[in-house]
Chains A and B, each alone.
Chain A
């Protein structure tokens, strides 16, 4: 293993080099652009034998990747925000054709108002496209998750594409010490792609992507649903195997002292590093608090989260996203997991860090303060809380009653 000082984008490019990707197609968008710059450098230096396709939009980028995977080449793309939204149509084609494409998503919020800064709204808006979604907390995890994502996606029990999401600028432009695995130990972990799905082949011609009439369509949908559900097992196995070669252990969720916690914070993305530090400090002060970091959002680890939080007195879900009128998207999924379970704890939703607003130790302390208050009073007044909202501005804008 070699330690390198890499930014998030450079780490993603390193992972592409290690995965020996054959075709890369992408269109630049802040904060993803640097990934493609690094990959171009690898190709120019002869460190990666791949074909870089320069396309005119994200829609074409995903289409090019679909074409590449259909002839059995390993493909990679990266996007963000508006670009990901433009890709939306092709995302369904990629999952419907069961092509194991891996995409790096440098999370950036979606306009309007225009922003280039991080939140999870862009990738969570693509939740129902049939893509596996990994969320990362630091730069090392970006590299690891891309390698794991290829292995999981190419498994014949899964055959669904993957998104590796990392917060734009917070991770994409942050440089950290990263352990880059040796190419030969990745070769065993991620062997050459031998397609287990129908491919375009001159010897064995076929018509791909034909129409399915009502008597078949529902079965195709069930196939994808079942594969997504059963991919949990494959993901766990791949995490185990990766642990073996790298010494870094991952899980569908990662917990911190939830067994002895009265209160549990749930969240995902780069803010969980701050949250962990805050929780450690609060633990020193004697606050019985635990942490659940969601690593894999899709397939959602319902059972794992329920097991982690079922014995606690109160759960707080931090959402770096918002579904207008309904609250946080992760919050809704956590509620879904707790539904029909005996004596579920009350769940509060905290909307934080939208459009790149910093989630600080102070934010987490405010959140924990609110949770303690609700627990003391044993009464939930409001379940969707915006702890960092500038209330003076909201008053000046005359929003609300």
Chain B
């Protein structure tokens, strides 16, 4: 199925609210991109070097998709990471590197 410019799994397509009811205008419920996995059209993937990382949280603030998780270690949710590279650009310690996926 076509959604968000990429093939996503059929379940998310059938959950789309416009399938059932006339939306009148183009609107969606909040948090809709939890269903619409934005990581599907990524061609590169950032990885955090835990030894260099000081958990300053700049990448966590800057990530436009909110795909970085804070905890004992900083993690990246690859289901939603678009691979835009903003975290890599913003990291003051160069603790993030980018890996090509295609």
Contacts and interface: CB of A to CB of B under 8 A. Distances in A.
Contacts of A206: 27-30
Interface string A109-153: 000000000000000000000000000000000000000000000
B3 A198 contact: no
A363 B75 CA distance: 79
A374 to B, nearest CB: 49
Interface in A211-251: 211-216, 220, 223
B71 interface: no
Contact of A210 (B5, B22, B24, B27): B27
Size band of the interface chain A makes with B = 20 to 34
Nearest to A216: B18
B26 A212 contact: yes
A98 B2 contact: no
A198 to B, nearest CB: 5
B24 A159 contact: yes
B4 A208 contact: no
A209 interface: yes
Interface in A67-92: none
A180 interface: no
A197 B24 contact: yes
Contacts of B25: 96-98, 197-198, 208-209
A208 B2 CA distance: 21
Interface of A is mostly: loop
A98 B32 CA distance: 22
A325 interface: no
A399 to B, nearest CB: 48
Nearest to B17: A206
Interface string A294-311: 000000000000000000
A398 B32 CA distance: 64
B89 to A, nearest CB: 25
Contacts of B32: 207, 210
Contacts of B2: 213-215
Contacts of A342: none
A198 B25 CA distance: 7
B24 A98 contact: yes
Nearest to B22: A223
Interface in B1-34: 2-5, 18, 22-30, 32
A198 B24 contact: yes
A205 interface: yes
A214 B3 CA distance: 9
Contacts of A215: 2-3
Contacts of A205: 29-30
A97 B22 CA distance: 13
A197 B29 CA distance: 14
Contacts of B5: 213
Interface centre among A97, A205, A207, A223 (most CB of B within 10 A): A207
A196 B24 CA distance: 9
A97 B28 CA distance: 13
Nearest to B2: A215
A197 B23 CA distance: 9
A367 B97 CA distance: 77
A198 B27 contact: yes
A208 B28 CA distance: 7
Contacts of A198: 23-25, 27
Ranked 7 nearest A-B pairs via Cβ: A208-B27, A198-B27, A97-B25, A205-B30, A206-B27, A207-B28, A212-B26
24 contacts: A96-B25, A159-B24, A197-B24, A198-B24, A205-B30, A206-B27, A206-B28, A206-B29, A206-B30, A207-B29, A207-B30, A208-B25, A208-B26, A208-B27, A209-B25, A209-B26, A209-B27, A210-B27, A211-B26, A212-B26, A213-B4, A215-B2, A216-B18, A223-B22
Given A209-B26, A210-B32, 16 more contacts: A96-B26, A97-B25, A98-B25, A159-B24, A198-B24, A206-B27, A206-B28, A206-B30, A207-B29, A208-B27, A210-B26, A210-B27, A210-B28, A213-B4, A220-B26, A223-B22
